[in-house]
Amino acid sequence: MTQPKPKLKFTVHDYMSTPGDKRYQLLDGEMILAPSPTDNHQRIVANLFRLLDLFVSSELLGRVRLAPLDVVLSENDVVQPDVMFVSNARSEIITEANVQGAPDLVAEVISPGTAEFDRGYKRVLYARHGVREYWLVDPETESVEVMVLGAEGLQTHGVYGSSGELSSPLMESLSLDLNELFHRA
Please spell the DSSP secondary structure of 63-77, one letter per residue.
Answer: EEEESS--EEEETTE
Distance CA 135, CA 118 (A): 10
- In the predicted model, what is the mean pLDDT of residues 128-145? 96
pLDDT tens readout for residues 16-36? 777 666 677 778 888 777 777
Q: How far apart are CA 42 and CA 65, in angstroms?
A: 14
CB count in 10 Å sphere of residue 103: 31
Q: Tell me, yes or no, whether 153 lies in a domain.
A: yes
Residue 69 lies in a domain: yes
Please indicate, yes or no, if residue 32 is contained in any of the structural domains.
Answer: no
Residue 65 has pLDDT above 90, yes or no: yes
Question: Which domain covers residue 138, as residue numbers?
Answer: 37-182
109: in domain: yes
Instruction: Report the chain's mean pLDDT, rounded to a whole number.
Output: 89
Does the pLDDT value for residue 81 go beyond 80? yes
Would 118 be classed as within a structural domain? yes
Dihedral angle computed from the Cα positions of residues 26, 154, 157 and 34, in that order, rounded to the nearest 10 degrees: 10
DSSP-assigned states of every residue in 109-140? E--TTTHHIIIIIHHHHHHHHT-SEEEEEETT
Q: How does strand 99-100 pair with strand 71-74?
A: parallel
pLDDT number for residue 42: 93
CATH number, domain containing residue 56: 3.90.1570.10
Q: Is residue 28 part of a domain?
A: no
Domain count, the chain: 1
In this prediction, residues 89-106 reach a mean pLDDT of 97
Type of residue numbered 69: L
0.95 exceeded by the pTM?
no
Say what the pLDDT of residue 5 is. Answer: 53
Residue 2, pLDDT > 70, answer no
Residue 82 lies in a domain: yes
Residue 3: pLDDT over 60: no
In this predicted structure, what is the pLDDT of residue 25? Answer: 75
* Dist. CA 162–CA 183, nearest whole Å: 9
